[in-house]
Each structure stands twice: as C-alpha cells, then as structure tokens.
Amino acid sequence: MGIKNHNGNLFSADNVYRILINEKYIGIYRHGDEIHTDTYPQIVPTEIFEIVASKIANNKYGKHKPDVYYLLKHKIFCGYCSNPIQSASGTSKNGEVKRYYRCSGKVNHKKCSFIPKRKDILEELVIDTIYEALNESNINYITERILESHKKQNRNYSTLNLLIDEQKEVSSQINNIMKAIEKGIITETTKSRLEELEKKKIDLQIKIEYEQSQDRLAITENDIKYYLLSALKKAPRLMIDALINKIILYNDKAEIYLKYTNHKSPDDNEDHQDFLFYVTSRSYEIDKKSFGGKIYINSYKVSFWI
C-alpha cells in the first residue's frame, strides 16, 4: 500500500527530501542566468519549499547562521557608478550580525559615494512599493502598458510589417496602371501586368490575415493580467524574480523598473522614455559609521517605472 515512486518502490525519506529541495517542484527552471517560471508546473507550495530550505541551511551552519537570502541580489545597481550592488555583512561589538547592500564599485575603486543600505529595511521598502504600485486599481493600466510595449516590439520586426509594406507597393503599382488605362494607354502588356498585380495583392492579403491571426494568438490582456496577479501571490523572492527588471539605488532614492516594458531595446532606434508610474516617499534608516550611528532619511523617494 501507499504511494510508489517511479521505480515502483515506496517513497523513502530521501525521495521526499529530493522533491522538497528541488526548485523544479516549485515551478522554477534555471538556464544559465535566466530563470523560467513557466516551464514546470508548481507542485510544492513555495512556502513549504522556503521553510525546508531554511531548515536545511540552519542544520548546515548551526544555529548561529540562519538562512540568509538577499532578495534583491542581481537586480540592484548603483545610481552613482552603475556597478552592481552586492551583499555584505558585519558583526557589531555585541555580536549582532548586520547585513547590508553595498556598491561593488566602492569596494573595488573606493570612489563611489553610495552609502551601504540595511538589507531588511531596503527589501521591505522594495516589496511594499511593488504591492502598492501594482494594486488592484493600477493593474489594468499596467497590463495595457505591457501589451502595448509587446505589440510595438513585435510590430517592428514582424513579417506582418514587411507584408503590409509590400501590399502598399503593389497597390500603388496597380493605381499607376489604372491611370494609364484611364488615359487610354492599353496594351497586352499592361493588361497582363495588371492581372499579375491583382493576383499578388490577393495573395498578400491572405498572408497578412494569417499573420494577424497569429499575432492575436500570441498574447492577450488576460494572459498578462493573470501573470501579474499570480506573481504578486508568490513569496517575495519569486515575486521579485517574476516582476522586477532592475532597481537603481541612490542615497536618497530608489528606482524600481518593471519587467516586460520597453526600458531598453538596443535594436530599436526610437527614443524610449521610461515611464514614471508611481512615486512614494518613505523614511529610511541607514547606519553611517562616520556619524557614529544611525541616521534617518525621512523622505527616501521610491519610484516605480513601467
């Protein structure tokens, strides 16, 4: 009795362990630096996965080193020198471990004016802003912007565009022949050329309609909205992976950029204006050694760009 594994044997503790530590079971597939969340279905709830991960980490390092994951890793960059912001920690005299995000440019060249930011406070600030910016009344608007940007990108490179151009060209050639006919210039050549062009125009129309139907199949407003809403329900680490493209940090402000909109498109010559969607102001506490302790910034500005 009981549930058997793929070898026909009963599940052992080891089988269960392997399932609980494999990211594939929470729907994550990594390929190099890319993370795909749509390749595998999620079988193990994220909350359970994270509890197990933290228990394993605790066992590994003993009770003094709990599982620490820097949620914003690989997503944050310094606003002053553009270098990645990296994780750091230090132990104070009373033995308390303090965790930070600091500029890697400062570590390497010591030239940057970025002041390290407290890990827990910064992460909370980012997460809160994401929830606020993507609230129920904003989500439709964000969906529209993503769809718009998706269509625009597709239109630039698609076969559809080429076909439409070709059809315009054929139509203008037909018009020229029609003008010639109106002026009484009719030869066998013009007649057969006209027939040829009319046939080509119909062929192109069929191809255009086919491409347009493909375009409609590609992605819908509902798909996007569903993706955004389910990303918001995920654990913070997965939510940030799914939604956030990058975060630019300064000493007095942070800029959070949503994925899937046109922040950068190297193949596109058009001027892409990042769209400032939402700004909030929060107080932020930093430890600044030269001041001999904590300082508070009361209006740490956090903006959300789509």
What lies within 8 Å, CB to CB, of 232 at 6+ separation is 130, 131, 134, 239, 243
Identify which range of 113-121, 134-142, 172-180, 202-210 contacts Zn ion by CB under 5 A: 113-121
Identify which range of 7-15, 53-61, 95-103, 138-146 contacts Zn ion by CB under 5 A: 95-103
- CB of 55 or CB of 109, closer to Zn ion: 109
- CB of 113 or CB of 140, closer to Zn ion: 113
Does 105 help bind Zn ion (rule: CB under 5 A)?
Answer: yes
Q: Is the dihedral of CA 231, 233, 237, 238 positive or negative?
A: negative
Amino acid at 74: H
Whole-angstrom distance, CA of residue 235 vs CA of residue 243: 12
Which residue from 103, 224, 231, 258 is in contact with Zn ion, where contact means CB under 5 A? 103
Q: How many CB atoms lie within 10 A of CB 224?
A: 19
- CB of 82 or CB of 192, closer to Zn ion: 82
Listed in order, strand segments (DSSP E) in the chain are 29-31, 34-36, 76-78, 85-91, 97-103, 117-118, 244-249, 253-258, 276-288, 293-305
Which residue from 40, 69, 80, 250 is in contact with Zn ion, where contact means CB under 5 A? 80
Which residue from 49, 100, 114, 277 is in contact with Zn ion, where contact means CB under 5 A? 114
Which residue from 44, 57, 81, 232 is in contact with Zn ion, where contact means CB under 5 A? 81
Which residue from 71, 72, 76, 112 is in contact with Zn ion, where contact means CB under 5 A? 112
DSSP 114: P
Q: Can you give the binding site for Zn ion, defined by CB under 5 A?
A: 78, 80-81, 103, 105, 112, 114
